[in-house]
Structure 1
Amino acid sequence: MAESSAEASSKAAPKAAPRSLPKGARRTTPSVETLAALDHERLIGLVLDETRRNPAFRKLVSAALAARQGPDAVARIVDRRLAALEGARGYIDWQKRRAFALDLDTTVSVILNELRPLDAEAALERLLRFLGGADDVFARVDDGTGTVQGVYDRAAEAAVEIGAGLPPATAARFASALLPRVLADPTGALTVLLRGLIGRLDPAALAPLDAEVTGLAAETGARAGRRETETLRRLQRRLLLRLRQDIAERRGDIDAFIALEVEAVPGSPDRVDIATRLLGADRPAEALDWLRRKTPQPLTRADLIAGLDETAMERERAVLEIQALDALGRGAEAQDLRWRGFAQRLDADMLRAYLAKLPDFEDDEALRRAFAVVEAFPDPHRALGFLVRWPDLDRAARLVTGRPEIWAGERYTILAPAAEALAQAHPLAATILYRALLDDILARGRSQAYTHGAAYLLELDLIAERADLGGLKPDPSEYREGLKRRHGRKYGFWDLVEGG
């Protein structure tokens, strides 16, 4: 049979040589270079195979194809998904959470990667619609890992970026248009968006928004409502004050910011935050005045999330007070505060700063006084932690061996790193600490810490093999026998020990 013209031409035409890769490129790692070297039909086949296996990838490819038709085609795809999301009522348990979060993230990706390049304002509208449904989504999803929250955080950050990229007047109008929706749900996702957006707007374009927020704040403050609406009114008033603060901060108007802080929290404004801003504006005398005012300074939710406690907040105030005193040329007072901060809390950074400010040849005597304070400190565990971190391991070892019976294994955050630091040069002190740690774990039956306990016993064995422990009682073999007698039935621990 005669060959067809297509077959003949196919045989006659030489195949195109594959593209060469850059020198040193790995031929099996997907990259721009390696994928460009693949035949187009092979790439298409891979994409089609993945669209059949992966629903999220199929949506991304469909959106990319729709983008060739223009923004309206992409917007229709997004709108269908948002409508389905808004109409859904089923509960998403932990087993379905991953796929659900991936689907949400795919929707955000389509908005950002396909719609935004074609029509930024349309993309922004869809992000707002997506964020506006956050409460309904969280009401029906088990988001213990924070995965779904992460998707909404990504959408909010993107919305802030797009909104801030609009022409200044347009961006300000967009922020103003958010106000009614934000006031309807003061604790919702759109509140985070609006406050983030204000921090990115052109300060010169903020006047209309400031006037509107100020008017709404006055109206909300004057309006009295029924008991069931009073909580919402309080939330609205607080939010509007914070928005006015955001605007003042964006404009660099510190005095307006402070006045609003006093209005928002009349009895206990955030003195540390106010002082930080005043110091940044080179107004140290006013900062010092605020720091020394005797108004209550309760821990906020943000402080708790950041892990701050009363001690940490007091230290932060002291650091700012020292900065203010230094700026005012009152160095002796600043030094007194540094020494006091060290002596009260064994604050190593305060001591280093104190020593650095001393004249030449006075630091040795000051350091001797400091170590006397450490050795007399009421909490020996704090003293040990200070000496290990400073470091002065000789003093730390003397502290441990001088009072071998006082070390509490429950203070493991101090004892464990101290034992590790002392193990080489001071094996007796390290042994005392490792025993305290291990005894506490076994006495309390803390099975979740048995792995650590087995590691401590191994360290004790290694120390005993290489070091003379100077008549320590009980000796290592007697100590292990005592452990067996007292805790022989803690099989989970001994299994770990015998298993290495």
Structure 2
Amino acid sequence: MLNSQQKHCLAQLPKAALVNFIAEVQGVDKLLDKKIERLLLQSDKPKLIKKLTTTLKGLNRRHKYIDHWKVSEFATELQYLASDIMNLYPEQAETCLKLLELFIESSNTSLERCDDASGEIGQTYSNLAQSWLTVARGCYSQQKQILLVDEQDILSQAWQTKVKNLIDDNAYGFKDALMGGLKQLLSELEIRGIIDDYLHYYRSLFAENKGKGSAENTIKNADNQQIPLSYGHDRANHQEKLKTETALLGLAQALGDVALFTAVYRTIYPQQPLSPQQLNGLISFMIDHQAYELALEYLNHDWQSKAQQDAIKRLDWLSQIYQQQGDSKAQLKVLGEVFELHSSAKRLQAIMAIASPAEQAGWRKKAYKLAEDQQDIITAILLLLEIGEIKLANQLAITRHHEFADIHYETLTQLLKALPEDTAIIQVIIYRSLIDDILTNDRSRAYGYAARYYKRLLPLDSTINKSTDRYNSLATHQQYTKLLSQNYGGRSDFWQRISD
């Protein structure tokens, strides 16, 4: 995509230059040819609209499977189409809306016939749903302005039905974007009207199960009607159940109504207690909508799992809530608990940011002891660096430098980005580990990286030689280079890249 400056430069070009360029590229690419064809029809809107309509209807008739290496090309074709349709807005908003709806109808066909592992096609249709909201808002607003007040209820019902028809078929989830932005289009009352329709349908799906659930195991809709939550062993409407639950959750989330969202959520997960995985979605929504006290109630009374990962997750939620509430004392307490369970420099950093000077001194002692006992060398080094013990971190890296050979290269390269100044020794050890890994495993394609890492050793060597500690028990740069020559002297490509 061109930025605004590039577009400005294009606008300054002579018209003839642009015409000649388009004429030259025509025939180079089929997708581009179609784009040019529609561009040429801009001066004849009826023909352009007819062309777009024919193309969109053709999407539904396609059946040929698209392999993963052609997905990007297909996504580009869809994006071109979306762009050409949106060029009709706002001048021809109603037509634009109809074309977008025709486009959205092709979603299942498109997604079913391609390997969309990258998510490009799904994202394109998600963007399309957002475009539909933008255009629909303009259309709805214009329609309301020309109608009498007593006729607007009919219009409102029509738009509620239109929205409901769109989100009814959401098998691939791309219409989540539409539900999430519904407040751009409909009022709270209108959204609640759609929710009531879904609740009524939900009740009818399982009407035969009435009486099978307990009195408490129910949810009330706007008319105060009880909806049973016990489904027994009836699986006939299972897919409809899931689809309706997804729609209800999405609509309740769009509305931002914590009580309604909680009621719907507990409809889907009526069991007691909820598992940590089930609680995640509920607590996340509550925190996003500042329902902190309700979230705390679930975390303190409903969270049952004692597994370490679940305990860490619970404490992280609590820390987030206390931070939002400005309760640094409570936050420090849970941060300390989670640090004891899973020590990391990031968690220590969070503690030090809110701890008093006296408390910081105590945590430095704990971090120092934890670093001494830490089996993971990276965690140990980061803990020491976080409390400012750079010299100790360097010494620890020297003592345990052989352990770096077992660490994945991505972890090492990420660590290099996080290292502060005065860590030349640690950097040397990491670069040597990366070089050794590439040469030992004869990864010839990575020789360029190995050569680049070697060149970075030279300025680090100069820094270390000026320091008081020097290399200590670690091999000097000259000694390391000699070892490389002895062990990998035959890797001419590597040595050539160093000399380049």
On whether the aligned pair clears a TM of 0.5, the verdict is yes
The residue identity in structure 2 corresponding to 1:117 is P
Is the Cα contact below 8 Å between 2:125 and 2:174 reproduced in 1? no
Alignment match of 2:97 (pick from 114, 120, 124):
124
* Structural RMSD (CA): 4.3
Instruction: Give the TM-score normalised by structure 1.
Output: 0.72
In the TM superposition, what are the counterparts of 1:345-360 in structure 2 within 5 Å? 345-359=342-356
Count of residue pairs the alignment pairs up: 446
What is the deviation of 1:430?
3.7
What is the deviation of 1:104?
3.1
Task: Verify: 1:60 aligned to 2:38, yes or no.
Answer: yes
What is the deviation of 1:213?
0.8
The residue identity in structure 1 corresponding to 2:80 is T
Q: Which runs of 5+ in 1 are unaligned?
A: 1-24, 225-229, 299-309
Corresponding position of 2:452: 455
Alignment match of 1:334 (pick from 331, 334, 339):
331
Alignment match of 1:265 (pick from 269, 285, 294):
269
Give the direction of change, closer, same or farther, for the CA distance of 1:360–1:461 in structure 2 (3 Å limit): closer
What is the deviation of 1:214?
0.9
Corresponding position of 1:290: 298
In the TM superposition, what are the counterparts of 1:27-38 in structure 2 within 5 Å? 29-31=9-11, 34=12
Corresponding position of 1:436: 433
What is the deviation of 1:339?
1.6
Is the Cα contact below 8 Å between 1:124 and 1:163 reproduced in 2? yes
| CA–CA separation in structure 1 for the residues paired with 2:84 and 2:182 | 26
Task: Verify: 1:133 aligned to 2:118, yes or no.
Answer: no
In the TM superposition, what are the counterparts of 1:306-385 in structure 2 within 5 Å? 317-324=314-321, 332-359=329-356, 361-385=358-382
Instruction: Give the TM-score normalised by structure 2.
Output: 0.72
Matched residue SS, 2:87: helix
Give the direction of change, closer, same or farther, for the CA distance of 1:358–1:450 in structure 2 (3 Å limit): same
The residue identity in structure 2 corresponding to 1:363 is Q
| CA–CA separation in structure 1 for the residues paired with 2:391 and 2:36 | 66
Task: Verify: 1:81 aligned to 2:55, yes or no.
Answer: yes
What is the deviation of 1:237?
1.3
Corresponding position of 2:82: 108
In the TM superposition, what are the counterparts of 1:142-153 in structure 2 within 5 Å? 147-153=120-126
Is the Cα contact below 8 Å between 1:199 and 1:246 reproduced in 2? no
Corresponding position of 1:483: 484
| CA–CA separation in structure 1 for the residues paired with 2:406 and 2:288 | 44
Alignment match of 2:188 (pick from 203, 206, 210):
203
Moved more, 249-258 or 317-326: 317-326
Matched residue SS, 1:206: helix
What is the deviation of 1:246?
2.9
What is the deviation of 1:198?
3.4
What is the deviation of 1:254?
0.9
Matched residue SS, 2:42: helix
| CA–CA separation in structure 2 for the residues paired with 1:235 and 1:156 | 23
Larger relative contact order (Cα-Cα within 8 Å, sequence gap ≥ 6) = 2
Task: Verify: 1:249 aligned to 2:253, yes or no.
Answer: yes
| CA–CA separation in structure 2 for the residues paired with 1:98 and 1:336 | 49
The residue identity in structure 2 corresponding to 1:394 is K
Q: Which runs of 5+ in 2 are unaligned?
A: 145-152, 210-233
Corresponding position of 2:199: 214
Question: For residues 169-188 of structure 1, what are the alpha-carbon distances to aligned partners after superposition, in whole Å with 9 as ceiling and x for unaligned?
Answer: 646633533545654x4414
| CA–CA separation in structure 1 for the residues paired with 2:305 and 2:243 | 22
Is the Cα contact below 8 Å between 2:319 and 2:335 reproduced in 1? yes
What is the deviation of 1:280?
5.5
What is the deviation of 1:321?
1.0
What is the deviation of 1:324?
4.3
| CA–CA separation in structure 1 for the residues paired with 2:206 and 2:375 | 52
| CA–CA separation in structure 2 for the residues paired with 1:95 and 1:355 | 49
Matched residue SS, 1:187: coil
Corresponding position of 1:16: none
| CA–CA separation in structure 1 for the residues paired with 2:281 and 2:292 | 13
Is the Cα contact below 8 Å between 1:160 and 1:197 reproduced in 2? yes
The residue identity in structure 2 corresponding to 1:257 is F
What is the deviation of 1:216?
1.7
| CA–CA separation in structure 1 for the residues paired with 2:208 and 2:361 | 66
